[in-house]
C-alpha cells in the first residue's frame, strides 16, 4: 500500500540552485586596475599627463601672479595713500598764458579739509654732466624748484644722500630723481653737474616716485636758489595737496577754482593713485586673456588623454576579451578604463598645480612681492582635470565595454 501511495503522489522535484551572482569590483579594485594599466605604458602616460600639467600650471601661475601683483599694488596704495591731488596748468591753444599765482599753496591750505599742500615750479635751465658737454645735450633731464616739504607730501624717499632743508634750499645744490641720476651718470652725493653755467652739487638721489613718476627725470633745487641762480619767477607749475579720503572728491571739485580763480578751465586736477588703480584693471584684463590660453592648453591636454585611451583600448583588445570571457561585466570594463583616464588626468593636474604654485612663488619672490596663491586656483585646477579626464575617457571606456569576447580574443 505504501508503494502504491508513493507512485500516486510523487515527491516534488528539487529546485535548481540559483545562478551565481556576478562578482562586482570594489572601488579599491577599480583603482588598482587603473593604476596597473598606467604603469604598463609609462612613457605614453608621462607625455599625455604633460599636456594636462602645462594647462593647469599656466592657469594656477596666472592666477597666483595676478593675485600677488594685485596684493603688492594694494599694499603700495595703502602706503602711498589715495588722497593726493595735483593741480597743474593745461597749455592754452589760444595763446593765452595762464600761470598759477605765487600764493597758490597758501590758498589751497585754506580749503577746510586740506591737511598738507606743497608745490613745484618749472625752471628754465639746461642740465649737463659737466661744462665740456654741449649745452644742447641735456640727457632729457629738466629742472624744477621744490619746496622742502615736497617729499613728505608725496611719500617719497631719498635713496642716497639728503633732501633739501631750510639751509640748503638757498644754496647751489640739487637733488636728482632716480632716472635723472642714471642719465647724467651720477652715482653718489657729492658729485657735481652743470645747470646753465652754474655748477651744482648733488646732495641727494631720490628713489623712484611712484605717485608722480615725472619727478624721476628732474633735478630739484630750492625755490630761493632757483630765483637767485636761474631767474625763477616764483610761480609754481604744479600744486600737490592731501586731504582725508572721505573729502577727496569735495576738494577735487573746488581745487581748480582755488588755485586759479577765473581761469579754472585751464587747470587740470588729477588723482595720481588713479593710474595705479587703472594698472590693476589692466592686469585683470590680461589675467583673463592668460586664463583663456591656459584653458586652451588644458583642452589640448584632454584631447591627448582621449587619444591615449582610445589607443590603449585598441592595443588591449585581447586583455579585454579575456576578462570578459572570465566573467567581467561590461560595467567592470567601463569602470577600469574610466579610472585609468581619471588617474591620468589627476596625475597631470597635480603636477601642474605644484608647478604653477612653484612658478608663482619663484617669480613673486624675485619681484619682491608677497606670494599669493588662492586655494581655489589649484583646487579648481584639479577639479577641472578630473572633469576633463571623465569626458576624455568616457568614449574609450564605452567602446571597450562593447567589445564581444569572441571578437576581442581574435587578436590573441
Distance CA 264, CA 45 (A): 70
Q: Are 207 and 324 within one domain?
A: no
Rounded to an integer, what distance in angstroms lies between the CA atom of residue 216 and that of residue 94? 31
Percent with pLDDT over 70 in the chain: 84
Stretch 390-397: mean pLDDT: 80
Q: What is the pLDDT of residue 38?
A: 73
Q: Using one digit for the tens of pLDDT, what is the confidence trace for 322-352?
A: 777 777 778 877 888 888 888 888 888 888 8
Residues 288 and 264 both lie in one domain = no
Residue 338 domain-assigned?
A: yes
- On whether the CB atoms of residues 353 and 56 are closer than 8 A, the answer is yes
User: Is 316 a domain residue?
Assistant: yes
Give a yes or no: residue 12 inside a domain: no
Q: How high is the pLDDT of residue 285?
A: 59
The verdict on 147 and 31 lying in the same domain is: no
pLDDT of 26 over the 90 cut: no
Model confidence, pTM: 0.61
Q: Report how far residue 241's alpha carbon sits from residue 86's, in angstroms, rounded to the nearest whole number.
A: 7
Say yes or no: 148 and 211 in one domain. Answer: yes
What is the reported pLDDT for 176?
Answer: 95
Q: Best-predicted range by mean pLDDT among 150-159, 214-223, 242-251, 392-401?
A: 214-223
* Of residues 216, 215, 213, 218, the one with CA closest to residue 272: 213
Mean predicted confidence (pLDDT) in 83-102: 78
Residue range 130-159: mean pLDDT, rounded: 87
CA atoms within 13 A on the CB side of 364: 24
Residue that is last in its domain, among 220, 254, 272: 272
14 in a domain, yes or no? no
Residue 150 lies in a domain: yes
Name residues whose C-beta falls within 8 Å of residue 411's C-beta, 6 or more positions apart in sequence. 317, 318, 321
Grid cell, residue 289, equals 586673456
Q: How far apart are CA 333 and CA 206, in angstroms?
A: 71
* Strands 127-128 and 198-206, sheet pairing: unpaired
Q: What is the mean pLDDT of residues 246-266?
A: 86
Given 272, 293, 316, the domain boundary residue is: 272
Same domain membership, residue 139 and residue 247: yes
Does 20 reside within a domain? no
d(CA 199, CA 252): 40
pLDDT of 187: 92
pLDDT in tens, 291-327: 676 677 777 777 777 777 777 777 777 777 777 777 7
Query: What is the DSSP code (8-state) at residue 210?
Result: S
What is residue 391's predicted lDDT score, i.e. its pLDDT? Answer: 83
- Rounded CA gap, 305 and 385, in Å? 11
Residue 138 is part of which domain span? 83-272
pLDDT digits (tens, 9 = 90+) for 42-92: 777 787 788 788 888 888 888 888 888 777 777 777 676 778 888 888 876
Q: What is the pLDDT of residue 373?
A: 86
- Range 30-37 average pLDDT: 74
Q: In terms of domains, do 323 and 252 share one?
A: no
Q: Which residue has the higher pLDDT, 379 or 321?
A: 379
Torsion of CA 212, 217, 220, 226, to 10 degrees: -110
Q: Please tell me whether residues 114 and 207 are part of one structural domain.
A: yes
- Answer yes or no: is pLDDT of 20 > 60: no
Return the higher-pLDDT residue of 292 and 150. Answer: 150
On whether both 95 and 61 belong to a single domain, the answer is no
Q: How many domains is the chain built from?
A: 2
pLDDT digits (tens, 9 = 90+) for 201-252: 999 999 998 888 899 999 999 999 999 999 999 999 999 999 888 888 888 8
- How far is the CA of 170 from the CAs of 186, 193, 224, 356, in angstroms? 22, 17, 5, 56
- Report d(CA 401, CA 388) in Å as an integer: 20
Report the run of H or E that residue 144 belongs to, with start and end.
strand 142-146
Indicate whether 159 pLDDT > 90.
Answer: yes
Is 19 contained in some domain?
no
Residues 242 and 303 in one domain: no
Domain end residue (candidates: 216, 239, 272): 272
Strands (E), 172-249: 173-176, 192-195, 198-206, 218-222, 238-242
Count of alpha carbons within 13 Å of 401, Cβ hemisphere only?
A: 16
pLDDT at 175: 96
| Least confident stretch, 26-35, 142-151, 184-193 | 26-35
**Residue 48 falls inside a structural domain:** yes
Burial of 34 (0-12, 13-18, 19+ CB in 10 A): buried
Q: CA triplet 339, 341, 342: central angle to 5 degrees?
A: 65
For residues 87 and 68, state if they share a domain: no
Is the same domain home to 134 and 254?
yes
Average pLDDT score, the chain = 82
Amino acid at each position: 500500500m505504501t508503494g502504491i501511495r508513493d507512485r500516486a503522489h510523487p515527491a516534488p522535484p528539487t529546485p535548481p540552485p540559483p545562478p551565481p551572482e556576478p562578482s562586482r569590483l570594489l572601488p579599491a579594485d577599480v583603482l588598482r586596475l587603473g593604476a596597473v594599466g598606467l604603469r604598463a605604458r609609462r612613457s605614453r602616460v608621462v607625455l599625455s599627463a604633460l599636456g594636462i600639467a602645462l594647462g593647469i600650471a599656466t592657469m594656477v601661475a596666472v592666477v597666483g601672479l595676478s593675485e600677488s601683483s594685485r596684493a603688492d599694488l594694494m599694499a603700495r596704495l595703502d602706503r602711498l595713500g589715495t588722497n593726493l591731488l595735483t593741480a597743474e596748468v593745461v597749455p592754452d591753444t589760444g595763446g593765452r598764458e595762464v600761470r598759477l599765482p605765487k600764493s597758490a599753496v597758501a590758498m589751497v591750505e585754506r580749503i577746510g579739509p586740506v591737511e598738507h599742500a606743497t608745490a613745484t615750479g618749472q625752471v628754465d635751465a639746461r642740465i649737463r654732466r659737466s661744462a665740456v658737454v654741449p649745452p644742447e645735450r641735456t640727457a632729457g633731464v629738466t629742472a624744477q624748484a621744490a619746496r622742502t616739504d615736497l617729499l613728505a607730501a608725496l611719500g617719497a624717499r631719498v635713496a642716497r644722500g639728503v633732501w633739501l632743508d631750510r639751509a640748503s634750499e638757498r644754496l647751489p645744490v640739487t637733488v636728482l630723481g632716480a632716472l635723472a641720476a642714471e642719465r647724467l651718470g651720477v652715482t653718489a652725493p657729492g658729485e657735481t653737474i652743470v645747470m646753465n653755467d652754474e655748477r651744482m652739487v648733488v646732495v641727494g638721489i631720490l628713489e623712484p616716485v611712484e605717485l608722480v613718476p615725472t619727478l624721476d627725470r628732474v633735478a630739484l633745487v630750492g625755490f630761493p636758489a632757483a630765483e637767485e641762480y636761474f631767474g625763477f619767477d616764483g610761480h609754481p607749475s604744479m600744486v600737490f595737496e592731501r586731504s582725508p579720503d572721505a573729502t577727496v572728491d569735495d576738494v577735487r571739485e573746488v581745487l581748480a577754482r582755488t588755485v586759479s580763480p577765473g581761469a579754472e578751465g585751464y587747470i587740470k586736477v588729477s588723482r595720481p593713485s588713479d593710474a595705479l588703480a587703472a594698472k590693476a584693471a589692466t592686469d585683470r584684463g590680461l589675467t583673463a586673456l592668460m586664463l583663456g590660453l591656459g584653458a586652451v592648453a588644458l583642452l589640448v591636454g584632454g584631447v591627448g588623454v582621449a587619444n591615449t585611451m582610445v589607443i590603449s583600448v585598441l592595443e588591449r583588445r585581447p586583455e579585454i576579451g579575456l576578462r570578459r570571457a572570465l566573467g567581467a561585466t561590461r560595467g567592470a570594463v567601463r569602470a577600469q578604463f574610466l579610472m585609468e583616464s581619471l588617474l591620468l588626468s589627476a596625475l597631470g593636474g597635480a603636477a601642474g598645480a605644484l608647478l604653477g604654485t612653484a612658478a608663482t612663488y619663484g617669480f613673486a619672490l624675485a619681484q619682491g612681492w608677497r606670494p599669493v596663491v588662492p586655494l581655489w586656483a589649484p583646487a579648481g585646477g584639479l577639479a577641472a582635470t578630473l572633469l576633463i579626464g571623465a569626458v576624455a575617457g568616457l568614449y574609450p571606456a564605452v567602446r571597450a565595454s562593447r567589445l564581444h569576447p569572441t571578437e576581442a580574443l581574435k587578436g590573441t
